[in-house]
Amino acid sequence: MNSPEISLPFGRLAAAQSAAVVLAGLLWTSGVFIAGYPSEYILWGLSEIGAIWLISIGVLVLFSPSKSRPIAIIGSLWSAASFGRFIAALGASSLLYYVAHFGLRPLLFSFLLTAVFLLVAETKVIAATLAKTSLNTE
């Protein structure tokens, strides 16, 4: 028995990633203002968030989710792509810390905030696609 093939919607994934990053940026900016931290924290956090967004879109393009693949394989491939994105984002964070001399705490917290929002947004899109596919294959 062959496993059914599925493709993930590139546009919806890119839109979900972009929306998650915008939400993280808005939350970051308002959090810095509300907590009364120095205004340079906004730039540092938004730089981190922007770097993660660029890496996320780059990994999405490399993964080519619109290519049809067996359902049994697509989860493992997406997990590997997410792990690669995480490692690349850590590398970008290190560059921002060591080269640009941004503060460690703003980079760390903006990284974690963005990573959580990205994972939630992607999971919702992928779960909806898998649910729709399971209804069509019955």
CA nearest to 20, candidates 55, 53, 54? 53
The whole model's pTM is what?
Answer: 0.91
- Kind and range of the H or E run holding 14: helix 10-35
Which one, of 59, 62, 41, lies nearest residue 107 by Cα?
Answer: 41
pLDDT of residue 74: 87
What own/partner pairs with CB < 8 Å and gap ≥ 24 does 76-81 have?
78/8, 78/126
Q: Express each pLDDT in 6-43 by its tens digit.
A: 999 999 999 999 999 999 999 999 999 999 999 999 99
Q: How confident is residue 133, by pLDDT bands cut at 50, 70 and 90?
A: confident
Q: Of 134 and 132, which is predicted with more confidence? A: 132
Determine the distance from the C-alpha atom of residue 59 to the mean position of all C-alpha atoms in its chain, rounded to a whole number. 9
Please give the DSSP secondary-structure letter assigned to residue 70. E
- pLDDT, one tens digit per residue, over 60-110 is 999 999 999 988 888 889 899 999 999 999 999 999 999 989 999 999 999
Which pLDDT value is given to residue 138? Answer: 57
pLDDT surpasses 80 at 136: no
Confidence class of residue 134 from pLDDT cuts 50, 70 and 90?
Answer: confident
Q: Where are the domains of the chain?
A: 9-31+40-64+73-133
Q: Which residue's structure tokens are 């059914």?
A: 4
